[in-house]
Structure 1
Amino acid sequence: MEVCRSLTTCKLSDVISPAFAESHRAVKSGKINELVEKGGRGSCKSSFVSVEIVLLLLKNPLIHACVFRKYGNTLRTTVYTQIVWAITQLGLTRKFRCTVSPMECTYLPTGQKIMFFGLDDPGKVKSIKVPFGYIGIDWFEELDQFDGPEQIRNVEQSTLRGGSFSFTFKSFNPPAMARNWANRYVLEKKPGQMVHHSTYLTAPPEWLGPRFIADAEHLKNTNPTGYRHEYLGEVVGSGTQVFENLQLRAITDAEIGQFDRVTNGVDWGWYPDPWAWNRMHYDAARRTLYLFDELTRNRTSNADTAALVKGRVPAGELLIADSAEEKSVSDYRSYGLNCRASEKGPGSVAYSMKWLQSLAAIVIDPGRCPDTAQEFSEYEYERDGKTGEVLQGYPDAANHHIDAVRYGTNKIWKRRGQ
């Protein structure tokens, strides 16, 4: 990677990995106000974010930037060094003054500042002052290490006040556990937000060096799960996850248009257990189940939930519901839905769960089905509190959409041995 002599002669392709071309265009266009960069080691996501912060600062002469990590004693050797690197790579060293006490980088032509803070001292964040203009950029590095979304919101509410422009960067290596708040966060749909995943495989090899690549290949051969987590940034769980065949990705309208074996499942509920509905398609040739629509409601009548379902499915499409509430099944029929009760029997729960686990893939669109994606990805076997041993059986908690999917596929797995 060559250092640019000046910004006017700098080719961004020399400092930004090709993997971030789409992210760069999205930031530059102004169509988003939050970019979440997640991925594995060596993906160059932190390098990319640091460059974008400097570029945004130069583009908006009235704004300042704040860079946050959980602990203040980690700033100097991580994000501060990263920003100094970006300034150098962009050929702007002579135009910035970078100091460590206070820890900040000042753009000399305008006086704009990039400031660094640890959230282990919240008082410093509340007392941030800028000499002019306003804070327009926040960067939360190692997002998963913060206390949770409320802490992040509190910081954003304190810093991003006033002015016509604001932007937030959030970057992290996904933790192994799906229930980590940062992993949950990226499954949520938020207006103005873009989520991007990158790995070392998308970075130019010469940027990483032969030792890095050799170490990655060694771990791939000796510990595939560790490799997937550390280098590919995958959420691999702790070894107790029930569903190891999940694929969380967007399911396009074009794909849905080709689905010809569509069914629906309903798990009855009121409060605190919710009513849950899912729409799905099973590709028998590929042994793949696609989950592409959901509804979740509390304290909602059968008439109202039936109306919701009728608004989402074609007339006559099959809906299979929990047989435990015969009256609710009858209600749905009276409201014009093609609803039938699921067929149960001894061991049906275990069999249906094992069938789901045996599929080549369960594809869930987290944008269309955020609650379903969360349930399936966080569903784990329980451990004995004293011995730590994994217990047999499936936990009957936080599994309402899982049950709806079991009911929706009832005709399929019943034919296969139950």
Structure 2
Amino acid sequence: MKIKLSNVVAPSFKEVHNDLKRDGHTHYWLSGGRGSTKSSFIAIELILGIMKDPQANAVVLRKVKDTLKESVFDQLVWAIDVLGVEQYWHIPDAKLVITYIPTGQQIRFRGADKPKKIKSMKFARGYCKYIWYEELDEFTGMEEVRMINQSLMRGGKKFTVFYSYNPPQSSNNWVNTEKLLTRPDRLVHHSNYLSVNPKWLGDQFIVEAEHLKATKPKAYEHEYLGNVTGTGGEVFDNVTIRPITDDEIQTFEHIKRGLDFGYAVDPLAYGVMHYDRKKKRLYIFHELYKVGLSNKAAFDHIKIENTNNDMVYADSAEPKSIHELRQYGLKVVGVKKGPDSVEYGIKFLQSLEAIIIDDTRCPNTANEFLTYELEKDANGNFKAKFPDKNNHAIDMVRYALNDEALKFKELKKKKHDPDNPTPEERHTKMVRDLTGGKPQVNEFISW
């Protein structure tokens, strides 16, 4: 019996299916809200892919092994059933493995809580062509995922890796920031239940979704539409990730360079950027970001990049390192800091129209700006102070733009200085005085 895919796959996945057919990408990031059927789609593609390629095997992962049986395992059993190919597959009751009977190809299931079992995996026939990370946001980060991929993506010509997840609420969560980063072999797709045949979901699903939409629209947007609504603790909402070309860099005139020292534990962070004062846009296009780097090695790098030996603005808390770099011939100065320099530096960066970062040239800088978030206290409230961790590139940028931040600070201070009121503030005070403290501004003519 021939199955028409449109009868079992939502139309929102048609382009992804066609891309898979032409081997368009290696990594497929499928995000979505409840009922988006992304996991159903992946399960169907895995079954079809293994039956089509006699060398293909698959490994399906979740963070915790105990969650495999009643999620991805049952999802693949469903796919086998809905495709009408049960007679070709062996599905044991107890063991977490599904076998394609004609060739012995396998789908294996693993929890990332036991990484050694992933590293030692071998197949009797073929190689691990397909990898599926279900509930990707449960994993600790991209480093963990990369280590698993490095272990499994061996011995074959073509690999396909699926990542399925409901986007976490925080825009700074590693999953949400990772998908923004530039990678040509990655396809990013988002879906929600609105593109799915309502009969597949059932009447009660629709009722629950509509009730939440009416009573808690933000929760509905996150849970059912799968949108990143934010927690309110995100520090930078003005970051744009995109390539900055060599031709574009050639047009930059206001180049700034910053340096944050580090060695044993914290990385040394050096960066180069262009600040467009008129448009209030910052372009960051070069970084050096490394732990255990000596000042001499840093100088050797900066000397090659900074051919004209233009001024570098560094952390004044490291006078010894600044002196050493000067001895090598580098023009470097420690920036003026104060008790509120961090606050005003970050607020200045927040005030910009856009902070544009080339994540290929500056991956660590991009990661810091995308994931920097206020911390919460024991009661779940956001702390007022900006956190002093994972901010080495951010500090470097603050130092490079310290003069601009000081101007920003003085302007803010002047606007709210009671001894130096603006004309608008003087007018408001006059109205209050004339009306006994109750301003009736509309009764007076503004000057």
Q: TM-score, normalized by length of structure 2?
A: 0.69
The question of whether the paired residues in 2 share the 8 Å contact of 1:95 and 1:107 is answered with no
Q: Quickly say closer, same or farther: Cα 1:343–1:150, change in 2 above 3 A.
A: closer
User: Counterparts of 1:85 and 1:165 in 2: how far apart (Å)?
Assistant: 26
Gaps of 5+ in 2: 411-447
User: Counterparts of 1:26 and 1:315 in 2: how far apart (Å)?
Assistant: 49
Structure 1 position 322 matched with structure 2 position 318: no
Alignment of structure 1 residues 9-158 onto 2, 5 Å: 10=4, 15=9, 17-18=11-12, 21=15, 25=19, 28-29=22-23, 32=26, 34-71=27-64, 74-75=67-68, 77-87=70-80, 91-93=83-85, 96-97=88-89, 99=91, 101=93, 102=95, 105-116=98-109, 132-146=125-139
Q: Quickly say closer, same or farther: Cα 1:98–1:248, change in 2 above 3 A.
A: farther
Q: Quickly say closer, same or farther: Cα 1:337–1:230, change in 2 above 3 A.
A: farther
User: Counterparts of 2:131 and 2:16 in 1: how far apart (Å)?
Assistant: 20
The question of whether the paired residues in 2 share the 8 Å contact of 1:76 and 1:100 is answered with no
User: Counterparts of 1:320 and 1:285 in 2: how far apart (Å)?
Assistant: 22
Alignment of structure 1 residues 208-227 onto 2, 5 Å: 215=209, 219=213, 222-224=216-218, 227=221
Q: Quickly say closer, same or farther: Cα 1:414–1:147, change in 2 above 3 A.
A: closer
SS of the aligned residue for 1:393 comes to coil
Which of the residues 385, 405, 410 maps onto 1:413? 405
Alignment of structure 1 residues 1-400 onto 2, 5 Å: 6=2, 10=4, 15=9, 17-18=11-12, 21=15, 25=19, 28-29=22-23, 32=26, 34-71=27-64, 74-75=67-68, 77-87=70-80, 91-93=83-85, 96-97=88-89, 99=91, 101=93, 102=95, 105-116=98-109, 132-146=125-139, 166-176=159-169, 194=186, 196-200=188-192, 204=195, 206=197, 215=209, 219=213, 222-224=216-218, 227-228=221-222, 231-234=225-228, 236-237=230-231, 239-241=232-234, 243-247=235-239, 249-253=241-245, 256=249, 259-312=252-305, 315=308, 319-326=312-319, 328-329=321-322, 339-345=332-338, 347-385=340-378, 387=379, 389-400=381-392
Gaps of 5+ in 1: none
The amino acid that maps onto 2:265 is: P
Identity of aligned residues (%): 34
Q: CA deviation at 1:58?
A: 2.9
SS of the aligned residue for 2:364 comes to helix
Paired residues in the alignment total 405
* Backbone CA RMSD of aligned residues: 4.6
The question of whether the paired residues in 2 share the 8 Å contact of 1:42 and 1:231 is answered with no
The amino acid that maps onto 1:302 is: N
Q: CA-to-partner distance for each residue in 1:27-53, whole Å, 9 max, x for gaps?
A: 743763x44434444554323422332
The question of whether the paired residues in 1 share the 8 Å contact of 2:25 and 2:185 is answered with no
Q: CA-to-partner distance for each residue in 1:333-356, whole Å, 9 max, x for gaps?
A: 676656444343453322222222
The question of whether the paired residues in 2 share the 8 Å contact of 1:134 and 1:162 is answered with yes
Q: CA deviation at 1:415?
A: 2.3
The question of whether the paired residues in 2 share the 8 Å contact of 1:187 and 1:366 is answered with no
User: Counterparts of 2:116 and 2:269 in 1: how far apart (Å)?
Assistant: 43
SS of the aligned residue for 1:29 comes to coil
User: Counterparts of 1:236 and 1:226 in 2: how far apart (Å)?
Assistant: 13
Residue range with higher mean Cα deviation, 164-173 or 330-339: 330-339
User: Counterparts of 2:210 and 2:285 in 1: how far apart (Å)?
Assistant: 35
Q: TM-score, normalized by length of structure 1?
A: 0.73
The amino acid that maps onto 1:274 is: P
Q: CA deviation at 1:264?
A: 2.1
Larger radius of gyration: 2
Q: CA deviation at 1:406?
A: 0.8
Q: CA-to-partner distance for each residue in 1:376-409, whole Å, 9 max, x for gaps?
A: 3443434445x55544333333321111111122
SS of the aligned residue for 1:372 comes to helix
The question of whether the paired residues in 1 share the 8 Å contact of 2:172 and 2:373 is answered with no
The question of whether the paired residues in 2 share the 8 Å contact of 1:36 and 1:171 is answered with yes
